[in-house]
Amino acid sequence: MQCKKRNKQLRQHKRNMLQKSLNENLVLKKTRLFPKAYKASLKRYNVTLGVGGNLGDLLRRLERLSHFLNKSRLCDLVQTGPILKNPPFGYLEQDDFHNSVILVKTNLQPQAFLKYVLEIERKFGRKRSFENAPRTLDIDIIFYENRKMNTSKLTLPHPFWQERQSVLIPMSYMERL
């Protein structure tokens, strides 16, 4: 019975997803939660997050992440972009990634928000084995308001955001960025 229920859920999930090939390597995917605009927020700081991974059921994990952020007391989920399936960079011997961009608002300062993001990654099973390794979930702080900073743990804005299609393409579909 459990298996039938799971298969029905998978079929429903696939029906709720639209996808469009942008070229031979890039596929844009839309689900019921990506892209989506959420409620307005009274929190102080706009934070743009790059999210993604390539281990396990990433579409489901990204939807779980959006539910998690939507229930969070430390940030308000404002908007999600579409999901981009794209090839890996750096270490190439791994599966394609699914990436998106999420806009949240928070009252946390950048260093405290970074700690929060690292805790979310840990809760979602992130393990750091080597640079550009396959991962269950990666969350990068792309922008934190218009702040610029460069510490040993956090650089704002993210130093490579302009080079990553995984950020640029989903972000180009978002209304408020």
Q: How far is CA 145 from CA 77, 96, 119, 141, in A?
A: 15, 30, 21, 11
Distance CA 30, CA 3 (A): 26
Residue 43 has pLDDT above 60, yes or no: yes
Give me the residues paired with residue 98 across strands: 53, 85
pLDDT band at 6 (very low <50, low <70, confident <90, very high): low
Task: Work out the average pLDDT over 114-122.
Answer: 96
**Could you write out the three-class secondary structure of the chain?**
CHHHHHHHHHHHHHHCCEEEECCCCCEEEECCCCCEECCCCCCCEEEEEEEEECCCCHHHHHHHHHHHHHHCCCEEEEEECCEEEECCCCCCCCCCEEEEEEEEEECCCHHHHHHHHHHHHHHCCCCCCCCCCCCCCEEEEEEECCCCEECCCCEECCCCHHHCHHHHHHHHCCCCC
Quickly count: other Cβ atoms within 10 Å of residue 155's Cβ: 13
Task: Work out the average pLDDT over 167-172.
Answer: 96
pLDDT band at 4 (very low <50, low <70, confident <90, very high): low
pLDDT band at 99 (very low <50, low <70, confident <90, very high): very high
Q: Which fold, 19-172? A: Alpha-Beta Plaits (3.30.70)
Kindly list the domain boundaries of the chain, sorted by start residue.
19-172
pTM: 0.87
